[in-house]
Amino acid sequence: MAKRTVIVTGAAASLGRSVALRFARTSSNILLTDPDRERGEQVRQEIEARGVEVAFIAADLHEALDVHNVMAEALDSFGRVDVLAHTASYFYAAPFLETSEADFDEVIDRNVRAAFLINRAVARQFIRQAESAAEAVAGDTEGAAIVNVVSNEAMVATADDAIFAASQGAVVQLTKAVAMTLSAYGGRANAVAVSGIKGTFDETAVVTAEQRRHSAEVTPMGRRGEPREVAGAIHFLTAEDASFITGQVLSVDGGRLAVAATVGGD
C-alpha cells in the first residue's frame, strides 16, 4: 500500500506530538504544523530520526493565508493529503457574565474559524483527489479521513467555560457537516472528545495541581489519560477498521462523560 500523507495540527503540544509519533509507526508521510516554530521543529527532528518523511510549517490556522501555505507545503512535499488530525485548540476559562466580546471573538476565531478553514481546505483536496483517477492510490482501502479533537465540554459545560464549550460544540457540528460533504467521495470525518488527558490544557498553566488531582478522582478509571491513548483513537478512526464510521464523536475520557463528570479547566 502506498504511503498516506497525514497533516497533524497542534504538533508542538504533547497531544499533537503523540499523534505524529503514532502515525510514524505506520510509515506515513507527515506534515506537522503549529504556531510554535521552535518546538514544532524539535518534534520534526524527533520524527525524522525514526526514518519517516516529515516536514514542518509554522502556521496560525485561523489565518486563511497560513492555511493556504500549509496545504501548499503538503502538496509540494508529498503530492497529496490523505489524513487530517486536527488537534490544535485554544482554551479559555472565565465566568460567563464576565466574558468580554473580545474574548468571545478570540475563542471563536482560534477554535471554530481555524477548524473551518483547515477542514475546508483538506476536504477540497480530498475531493480533487477522488475526482482524479491519476491521483488514486492503488490498493488504498483506508480512504481519506479527518479527525477533529474537541473537549468533552462540547457535550457537558460549566458556567466558567461557556465560550470554550460553545466553540467545542460548534466544531462537533462542523465535523458532522464535513462528514456529510465527504461521504459521496469516500471520505470520512469524525471527532475525538477528550477530558482528563495529561498534557492537554496543562501546558497552558491554567490547570492547578489540585485540579489535576481532582481530575483523576472524578474519572471512573481512577487516573488521568495519556496523550498516546488519544493518539490511538485518532489513528483508529483514520484506518480501514473504521471505514464505515463517519460523523461520530468518540470520547476518550476514562468514562467521565458516562457519569457527566466535569472538571473546571480540564
Could you tell me the three cell numbers for 175? 465535523
Dist. CA 47–CA 12, nearest whole Å: 12
- At residue 32, what are phi and psi to the nearest 5 degrees? -95, 140
Q: What is the pLDDT of residue 185?
A: 95
Residue carrying the nine cell digits 480512504: 143
The length of the chain in residues reads: 266
> In this structure, what are the phi and psi dihedrals at residue 130, rounded to the nearest 5 degrees?
-65, -30
Domains and CATH numbers, the chain: 5-259 (3.40.50.720)
Q: What is the pLDDT of residue 141?
A: 44
State the cell numbers at 120.
Answer: 475546508
Cα dist from 115 to 63, 67, 137, 178, 232, whole Å: 11, 10, 26, 11, 21
Strand, helix or coil for residue 107? helix
3 is written with which cell numbers? 504511503
Residue 191 has what pLDDT?
A: 99
Across the chain, where does the E strand assignment appear? Answer: 5-9, 29-34, 54-58, 83-86, 145-151, 188-194, 249-252
Per-residue pLDDT of the chain (266 residues; tens, 9 = 90+): 578 999 999 999 999 999 999 999 997 899 999 999 999 999 999 999 999 999 999 999 999 999 999 999 999 999 999 999 999 999 888 999 999 999 999 999 999 999 999 999 999 999 999 998 544 444 344 689 999 999 999 998 788 889 999 999 999 999 999 999 999 999 999 999 998 888 765 445 556 777 777 777 888 888 888 999 999 999 999 999 999 999 999 999 888 888 864 444 44
At residue 244, the pLDDT reads 96
pTM confidence score: 0.91
Quick one: pLDDT at residue 215?
A: 75
